[in-house]
Amino acid sequence: MPQALKSILRAFAGLAILAIGLGIMNALISMKPKPSVVERPVAPRAVRSAVVNPGDCTPQTPVEGRVEALYRMEIISETTGDLILGGKEFREGIEFAKGEVMLQLNATEAHNALTAQRSQFLQLLSTSLADLRTDFPENWSAWDGFLNAMEVDVRLPELPAFLSQREELFVANRGILGLFHSIRSAEERLDKYTIVAPFDGVVMAAAVRPGGLVRAGQLAGVLVGRGAYEVKTAVHARYLTTIAVGDAVVFVDENNQPVANGAVHRVAGNVDAATQSASVYCRVQPADGKSTLLRDGRFLTGTIASAPIAAGVNVPLNLVLEGGWIYAVEAEQLKKVTVDVVFESRSDAIVLGLDSGTVLMTEAVASAFDGMPVLTRAE
Q: Could you report the per-residue pLDDT of 71-129, keeping only the tens digit for each?
A: 999 999 999 999 998 778 999 999 999 999 999 999 999 999 999 999 999 999 999 99
Do 137 and 161 share a domain, yes or no?
yes
Q: What is the CATH number of the domain that holds 77?
A: 2.40.50
Residues of the chain with pLDDT > 90, as a percent, come to: 75
Spatial contact of 172 and 166, defined as CB atoms under 8 Å apart:
no
For the stretch 170-174, contacts whose Cβ atoms lie closer than 8 Å and that sit 24 or more positions apart, written own/partner, are: 170/131, 170/132, 170/135, 170/136, 171/128, 174/124, 174/128
Among residues 305, 333, 350, the one where a domain terminates is 305
Q: Is 183 helix (H, G, I), strand (E, B) or coil?
A: helix
Residue 170 has pLDDT above 90, yes or no: yes
Average pLDDT of 341-350? Answer: 92
pTM confidence score = 0.71
3-state SS class at 307: coil
For residue 198, CA distances in Å to 99, 216, 223, 290, 361 come to 6, 19, 9, 22, 60
Give the end-to-end CA distance of the chain in Å, rounded to a whole number: 94
Q: Is residue 114 part of a domain?
A: yes
Distance CA 175, CA 125 (A): 9
The CA distance from 135 to 198, in Å, is: 48
Residue 349: pLDDT over 60 = yes
pLDDT in tens, 228-241: 899 999 999 989 98
State yes or no: pLDDT of 139 exceeds 90. Answer: yes
Q: At 247, which amino acid appears?
A: D
Strands 219-225 and 72-76: antiparallel
Instruction: Say if residue 242 is in the same domain as residue 181.
Output: no
Do residue 220 and residue 231 come from a single domain? no
DSSP secondary structure string for all residues of 356-368: TT-EEE-S--TT-
Residue 148 forms part of a structural domain:
yes
Separation between Cα atoms, residue 39 and residue 313, nearest integer Å? 39
**Segment 329-355 mean pLDDT:** 93
Q: Tell me: pLDDT of 375 over 60.
A: yes
Residues 6+ apart with CB under 8 A from 32: none
Residue 44's nearest CA partner among 379, 376, 378 is 376
Strand 374-378 relative to strand 45-51: parallel, antiparallel, unpaired?
Answer: parallel
- Phi, psi (rounded to 5 degrees) for 57: -120, 130
Whether 327 and 372 have beta carbons less than 8 Å apart is answered as no
With 60 as the cut, is the pLDDT of residue 39 above it? no
- Mark whether 78 and 145 lie in a shared domain: no
Structural domains of the chain, count: 4
Do 202 and 236 belong to one domain? no
Q: Measured in whole angstroms, how far is the alpha carbon of residue 59 from the centre of its chain?
A: 18
14 in a domain, yes or no?
no
- Please tell me the predicted confidence (pLDDT) of residue 85: 85
The 10 Å Cβ neighbour count of residue 50 is 15
State whether 204 and 186 are in the same domain.
no
> Quick check: is 34 in a domain?
no
Q: Are residues 337 and 372 in the same domain?
A: yes
Cβ partners under 8 Å of residue 281, min gap 6: 230, 231, 232, 233, 264, 265, 266, 267
Please report the pLDDT score of residue 254 as a whole number. Answer: 85
H or E stretch at 25: helix 3-31
Q: What is the mean pLDDT of residues 277-286?
A: 94
Residues 209 and 251 in one domain: no
User: In which element (H, E) is residue 110 found?
Assistant: helix 108-135
Residue 234, CB-side half-sphere exposure with 13 Å CA sphere: 7
Q: What is the mean pLDDT of residues 317-345?
A: 92
Domain annotation covers residue 7: no
The type of residue at 325 is: W
- Flag whether 179 is in a domain: yes
- In the chain, DSSP finds a helix count (H) and a strand count (E) of 5, 23
Q: Percentage of the chain surpassing pLDDT 70? A: 90
Domain containing 355 — which CATH number? 2.40.420.20
Average pLDDT, the chain: 89
Backbone angles phi, psi at 259, to 5 degrees: -115, -40
How far from the centroid of its chain's Cα atoms is residue 93's Cα? 26
Those residues with Cβ within 8 angstroms of residue 328's Cβ, 6 or more apart along the chain or in another chain: 334, 335, 336, 337, 354, 358, 359, 360, 361
Contact 210, 88 (CB under 8 A): no
Q: Could you say which of 305, 338, 369 is where a domain stops?
A: 305
Instruction: Kindly tell me the burial class for residue 109, based on how many C-beta atoms sit within 10 Å of its own C-beta (0-12, 13-18, 19 or more).
Output: exposed
Q: Give the dihedral sign, CA 255/258/259/263.
A: positive
Structural domain that includes position 315: 47-58+309-378
Domain shared by 128 and 88, yes or no: no
Is residue 148 located within the same domain as residue 172? yes
Statement: residue 2 has pLDDT above 90: no
More confidently predicted of 51 and 3: 51
- Point out the domain boundary residue: 168, 191, 214: 191
pLDDT tens digits, 213-232: 999 999 999 999 988 899 99
User: For 341, phi and psi rounded to 5 degrees?
Assistant: -85, 115
Q: What is the dihedral of CA 105, 111, 114, 120, to 10 degrees?
A: -170
Asked if residue 20 belongs to a domain, the reply is: no
Is residue 76, in this structure, part of any structural domain at all?
yes
Indicate whether 80 and 217 sit together in one domain: yes
Section 168-180 average pLDDT: 95
Same domain, 329 and 272: no
